[in-house]
Each structure stands twice: as C-alpha cells, then as structure tokens.
C-alpha cells in the first residue's frame, strides 16, 4: 500500500511516499481501507516536537490520527464490524499504533463506530478526535447539565465548535470567545453567543454575560494564559476543563474559588490500551447526532490529498484555517 512517512521531526515536514506492507488485523482488530483523515493540532505538534513527546513514534513515522473508511477484513475475535461496514474513529498515529496517512490501517474495533450515514465518508474523517475530546470534557469530566452557563474558549476551532454544539444540545446557555467577524458568525450559527476577546477583558464579559456571577463551566481549548482566564471566568465552585495544561500556573485563583480542574488527554486510551471502548461509545452517539442534523462539522474550504500532507501542515501553521482541515486518502 501507499503511505506517507515523516522521515524526521523538527518542523520542515519531510514526508515521503513509500510502499509498505498492508497490515494484518490481529485479535479484536479490523483492517480498514482509509477514505479520509484530517490534520489536528496534535498532529502538527508531533511533527514538530517529535521525541520531546513520549507518545510520538520513532521516524520514519506513519502519522495521522483521525480516520473514516470501509472495513476490509476482521481479525480473530473481532465481532462489532464486518467487511463492507463504513466506520470512523481515531485508531493510531502514536507510538505503537501506526497512523492513518496510508491506504489501509489496522484498528482496535473498540475505538471505532459506524460512520454517519448522512455525511460524505471522506469528510467523516475530520470528526473523531475533536468530537470525542469535546464529549469527554463536557460530559464525562465536567457533567454539564441543562440550564447551566458554558463558556468555550476558541469556539470556532476544531474542539471548540463541537463543544459549542454539544453544550447547546445538552440545554446549556453557551458563550464562546472568538477573534474575528467570520468566527463570530460561526458561533452564532451553531447556537452560541460570541465574545470578542480582543475587544473586551474577562471581567467585562463575565459581568455582561453572567451578571458577575461567573460561568458554571469553562472549556479551555487553547492553554497558556487562556487557562488563567478560565479560572477568572468560572463561578465559585465552578468547573474548568482544559485540553492543554503542559504549562505552569498560579493555582491561587482556583483554590480561592474552590474550582475543579478537569484535564482531557483524549489520546490516553490509545497510549495505555485502557478505556478504548468509551471512544467507540461516544462516536456512536456523535454519528446519531450528525444523522439527526443536530451536530454540524465545520470544514475549512481548503482540502488536501494525503500526498500533500506537508502543504496541509504549512497551511495550518499560517493560521488561515476555519474549522477542520480535511484530507482525502482515497483516489
């Protein structure tokens, strides 16, 4: 099969097309012919930082985490899917689990779900990582409920636009920070209220949106100083969710308000092998919401083939993407 391998880390993106053997599915695994994948910020972080991340594979590395495609064969003991099933999931791209920038991938069937029927199969490859991350943060971690006020930082981003919609679906009143009119329009279309963080500070929008009380839950998809802003924005006893906590912070504000901090490391089941079935369960629910027209997927207008993966990384670096960067693998 054809695969795009990253020959070395460091930010120059030296991907090379190689012929590699089609993998054989082992116990509990299925072989999937890949239709689509996507570029996530974590994919770029691995490509640039490489060995600095304990879960990064050794080069030449087969990266790519998201996947949609069609099952070709099932390994011993695999019973959830059979040949011909359309599936999607986040099955690899970390140490020990080859990624999806290839014509075929072997996947633990627990990490997969049937792909949405009312969505183009290639496009469905942009959904799994961001949808699973948002669901884990809002529901498994923070227990968001109807009637609560939710603030999402980066509401037009990959995880952010999923969190906005899932919050609305749960019955929460959703607000989201943005930095431009086009991103404000996205948040409004998804049912949230945009906050231009470049024009108003935390105290001001907390006062305007919550009467000074603070948000019941704050979802930080950015990290760094935005996590500090999240502590400021949360109400007394509120919850803060973050996908990026590899930084040093003053926890005094968290302590003073008796906040709870919930960290989402969505890749942990891939790395440890524990809890993988939860990913499949979440994606089953996500596919149902998509088919019921209750969850939309924001895809950037620029699309790439998997042989152009280096160009996709450079495009993401420029900060020009709006939504997910979809990548087609099928010819």
Using pLDDT thresholds of 50, 70 and 90, give the confidence band for residue 319.
confident
- The whole-number average pLDDT for the span 302-312 is 96
Distance (Å, rounded) from C-alpha 102 to C-alpha 44? 17
Check: CB of residue 160 under 8 Å from CB of residue 221. yes
For 2-126+289-328, CATH gives: 3.90.180.10
Bridge partners (DSSP) listed for residue 94: 97
Domain-by-domain residue ranges, the chain?
2-126+289-328, 130-263
- The whole-number average pLDDT for the span 148-158 is 96
Distance (Å, rounded) from C-alpha 185 to C-alpha 180? 9
- The pLDDT tens digits for 78-118 are 999 999 999 999 999 999 999 999 999 999 999 999 999 99
CA distances from 160 to 80, 178, 226, 245 (A): 30, 10, 14, 16
DSSP 234-303: EEEEEEEEES---S----HHHHHTT-EEEE--TTHHHHH--SHHHHHHHHHHHHHHHHTT-----B-S--
Distance (Å, rounded) from C-alpha 6 to C-alpha 58? 10
Distance (Å, rounded) from C-alpha 100 to C-alpha 102? 5
- The pLDDT tens digits for 276-304 are 999 999 999 999 999 999 999 999 999 99
Burial of residue 41 (CB within 10 Å: 0-12, 13-18, 19+) is middle
Report the CATH architecture of 130-263: 3-Layer(aba) Sandwich (3.40)
Using pLDDT thresholds of 50, 70 and 90, give the confidence band for residue 321.
confident
Residue 328, SS3 per DSSP: strand
CA distances from 225 to 138, 214, 220 (A): 21, 18, 10
Domain 2-126+289-328 identical in fold to domain 130-263 = no
pLDDT of amino acid 135: 98
pLDDT of amino acid 320: 80
């Amino acid at each position: 099969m054809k695969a795009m391998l990253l020959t070395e880390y460091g930010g120059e993106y030296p991907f090379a097309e190689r012929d590699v053997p089609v993998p054989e599915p082992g116990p509990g695994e299925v072989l999937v012919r890949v239709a689509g994948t996507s570029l996530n910020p974590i994919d770029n972080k691995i490509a640039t930082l490489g060995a600095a991340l304990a879960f990064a594979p050794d080069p030449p590395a087969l990266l790519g985490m998201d996947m949609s495609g069609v099952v070709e064969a099932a390994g011993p003991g695999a019973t959830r899917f059979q040949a011909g099933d359309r599936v999607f999931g986040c099955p690899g791209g970390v140490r020990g689990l080859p990624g999806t920038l290839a014509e075929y991938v072997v996947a633990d069937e627990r990490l997969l779900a049937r792909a949405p029927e009312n969505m183009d199969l290639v496009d469905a490859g942009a959904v799994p990582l961001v949808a699973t991350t948002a669901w884990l943060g809002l529901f498994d971690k923070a227990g968001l409920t109807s009637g609560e006020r939710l603030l999402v930082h980066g509401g037009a981003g990959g995880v952010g636009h999923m969190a906005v919609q899932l919050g609305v679906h749960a019955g929460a009143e959703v607000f989201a920070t943005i930095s431009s009119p086009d991103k404000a329009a996205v948040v409004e279309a998804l049912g949230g209220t945009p906050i231009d963080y470049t024009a108003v500070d935390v105290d001001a929008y907390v006062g305007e949106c919550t009467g000074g009380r603070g948000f019941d839950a704050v979802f930080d998809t950015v990290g760094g100083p935005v996590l500090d802003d999240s502590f400021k924005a949360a109400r007394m006893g509120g919850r803060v969710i973050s996908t990026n906590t590899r930084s040093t912070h003053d926890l005094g504000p968290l302590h003073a308000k008796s906040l709870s901090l919930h960290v989402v490391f969505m890749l942990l089941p891939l790395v440890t092998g524990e809890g993988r079935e939860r990913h499949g369960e979440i994606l089953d629910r996500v596919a149902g919401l998509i088919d019921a027209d209750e969850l939309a997927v924001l895809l950037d207008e620029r699309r790439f083939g998997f042989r152009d993966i280096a160009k996709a990384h450079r495009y993401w670096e420029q900060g020009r993407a709006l939504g997910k960067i979809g990548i087609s693998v099928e010819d």
